[in-house]
Amino acid sequence: MALIAETVPHPRSPSEEDAYVSWYGRVLGWTLAGGPAAQLVTGTRFDVLELPADAGGRLLRRPVDTGPVAVMGRRMRFLVAPGSAEELDGLLDWLEWGPVALDLTALGVGGRITAPVPPGRPQGSPQGAAVWLRPPEPGCEAFLPSLPGTGQGAGAGLRGTGPDLVRLVAAAATECHRARLRRRAAPARPVGAVGQPRFS
């Protein structure tokens, strides 16, 4: 199994921290947690589905509605409605993916992700930093994929017209499985050869 290096971003300057606080706090109304790199807390305004970047890149090309999407290193993060993390295992079982190792995880209450670089920064992003592929907008919580309303049952989401957690998880599981099969079939890379993820 190839080792994957997780790039640690350099500490941000006070002016960079101010830009993060301004955008996340004033524009989105989200709270940043402190640390060497600013963190977003999951489980209140959103949960996160996390999967390998190669699978996530293919998922983005599918006709499935998503909320905001970020990437950091070789992991892609899809923002979903609060409470979704608790539903992931049950959804995977219901979709008959339960016994399959997918590398599809969820972060909910008590979790944190590195805050991606706010969009539109003229100086660009440091290599390896978390960045938005689909940035959030004010009020984005209303558009995050979620389960159908109370009393509709899990299958009702398959007929819905809005962002749908069932469809997103089904597509994510399929792409994670396909990515795993592609990686098994690909020739082994030399140890230490770590490149940028390809989304094709």
Question: Is the distance from CB of 118 to CB of 131 less than 8 angstroms?
Answer: no
Q: Which residues pair with 161 in a beta bridge?
A: none
Give the confidence band of 24 by pLDDT, cuts at 50, 70, 90. confident
pTM reported for the whole predicted model: 0.78
The β-bridge relationship of strands 69-72 and 75-80 is antiparallel
Residue-wise pLDDT for 49-97, tens only, equals 999 999 999 999 999 999 999 999 999 999 999 999 999 999 999 999 9
**Residue 84 to residues 46, 80, 90, 172: CA-CA distances in angstroms?**
8, 7, 10, 14
| Range in 1-5, 28-32, 179-183 with the lowest mean pLDDT | 1-5
Q: Is the model's pLDDT at 163 over the cut of 70? A: yes
Distance between CA atoms of residues 162 and 39, nearest Å: 29
Give the confidence band of 118 by pLDDT, cuts at 50, 70, 90. confident
